[in-house]
Structure 1
Amino acid sequence: MHLVVDHPLILHKLTILRDKSTGPKEFRELIREIATLMTYEAMRHLALRKKIVQTPLEECEGYEINDKNIVVVPILRAGLGMLDGVLQLVPNASVGYAGMYRDPETKMPVEYYVKFPAFYDDTEVFILDPMLATGNSAVKAIDLVKGKGGKHITLLSVVSAPEGLKVVELKHPDVRILTCAIDRGLNDHAYILPGLGDAGDRLYRTK
């Protein structure tokens, strides 16, 4: 199941993000801001528990989430650009890392580093990757999370290709996917069109 988060603020920021003249500083800021806005929608389903607080006038019944039972997993390296935007809203969340790169010949992900905190039966896991292109890296990250016991998984991708969405939904139909845009498709090098280029390179100015 996927949901397109097309809030006007997100669409405005995404347009600037796509522009090839947008520099790395602004690109990083925009990725972080979009991730924060996506988190608002991505966590709408979180369970609430009641809590009594004392206002300056009297006791009041309120609500809280258990943000200590949330795990955020950026797919390295581009997913790191979204991490602070998510943690701004859930600062007590744990963070895991799924490090992988795409083999230029096979287009398949190559795992090089994985570190996760504990997953419990009710842990909410949010996987971060700005670009959902072929879907192979996302599927691999989801496989790794499930292999360690993660059950309730949401994937946040700023821009997605139809091919990537299809792959993830076929392999992991139980995973919720949030994206800000579904673009036209992939080119011969598996880059999203029109896309926004290589998010990792634009974040860290490696090209």
Structure 2
Amino acid sequence: MASDNSTVHLVEHPLVQHKITLMRRKDASTNTFRRLVHEVSALMAYEVLRDVATHEVDVDTPLERTTGRVIDGKKLVFASILRAGTGILDGMLEVVPSARVGHIGLYRDPKTLVVVEYYFKMPADLPDRDVIVVDPMLATGHSAVAALDRIAEHRPKSLKFVCLVSCPEGLAALARAHPDVPVYTAAIDRQLDEHGYILPGLGDAGDRIFGTK
């Protein structure tokens, strides 16, 4: 389902919403949280990849030869914003294991909230590839915009952004910088707090995935 912004797609499937609710619980263990991120990401992949290109191939069934359609996973790139994007990456790779993987290392300065890049590695020939950037949270939007800016320099065939939880401020920031990039999210929460965290949110996704807090 699309929100009022036609480039924003709110994934409201009951299974996705059920698992997002379980993730919000502050008493969810690291193992439980990590598993839920994996499961939600795999479920969201079905919606995100709804328009992925396919081509026809011949296939021999036990009874006869026929034709079917397959995707070219090698033309698909999941670009993970480190470190928390790894959680979504793993879930989506379960659905499309042949996809290529890119990484962009970003961190947000806790005082200025300015994004700093420390790592960038993408597959070659991005103009021939569809790139899906993944990060669990779209809060201020600074990291998402910085990642999309950097990847856009390589002129990929297409760009999408996927997150689990977003907020109006982050969506607005991304829309201003990249109005043509579709955004897929499982939740649009109320607002940011004074520290740049989403409310009600689910806390720091990276810390909860990796058990570092």
TM-score by length of 2: 0.95
The runs of 4+ residues in structure 1 deviating greater than 4 Å are: none
**% identical aligned pairs:** 49
Could you tell me which amino acid in structure 2 is paired with residue 85 of structure 1? G
Separation in structure 2 between the aligned mates of residue 109 and residue 9 of structure 1, nearest angstrom = 33
1:4 paired with 2:10, answer yes
Separation in structure 2 between the aligned mates of residue 56 and residue 205 of structure 1, nearest angstrom = 48
- What CA deviation, in whole Å up to 9, does each residue of 1:19-55 have, x standing for no partner? 0000100100000100001111000011111111111
Separation in structure 2 between the aligned mates of residue 158 and residue 168 of structure 1, nearest angstrom = 15
1:54 paired with 2:60, answer yes
Runs of 5+ in structure 1 lacking a partner? none
Separation in structure 2 between the aligned mates of residue 100 and residue 107 of structure 1, nearest angstrom = 12
Could you tell me which amino acid in structure 2 is paired with residue 13 of structure 1? K
Shift of 1:170: 1.1
Shift of 1:84: 1.0
SS of the residue aligned with 2:187?
strand
Could you tell me which amino acid in structure 2 is paired with residue 88 of structure 1? E
The aligned residue for residue 100 of structure 1 is 106
The aligned residue for residue 28 of structure 1 is 34
Separation in structure 2 between the aligned mates of residue 192 and residue 99 of structure 1, nearest angstrom = 21
Separation in structure 1 between the aligned mates of residue 53 and residue 103 of structure 2, nearest angstrom = 25
Could you tell me which amino acid in structure 1 is paired with residue 90 of structure 2? D
The aligned residue for residue 4 of structure 2 is none
Residue among 69, 72, 82 paired with 2:75: 69
Asked if 2 retains the 8 angstrom alpha-carbon contact of 1:119 and 1:149, the reply is no
Separation in structure 1 between the aligned mates of residue 8 and residue 154 of structure 2, nearest angstrom = 24
Asked if 1 retains the 8 angstrom alpha-carbon contact of 2:57 and 2:67, the reply is yes
1:163 paired with 2:169, answer yes
Runs of 5+ in structure 2 lacking a partner? 1-6
Aligned length: 207
Could you tell me which amino acid in structure 1 is paired with residue 35 of structure 2? E
Separation in structure 2 between the aligned mates of residue 188 and residue 87 of structure 1, nearest angstrom = 35
Q: CA RMSD in A?
A: 0.9
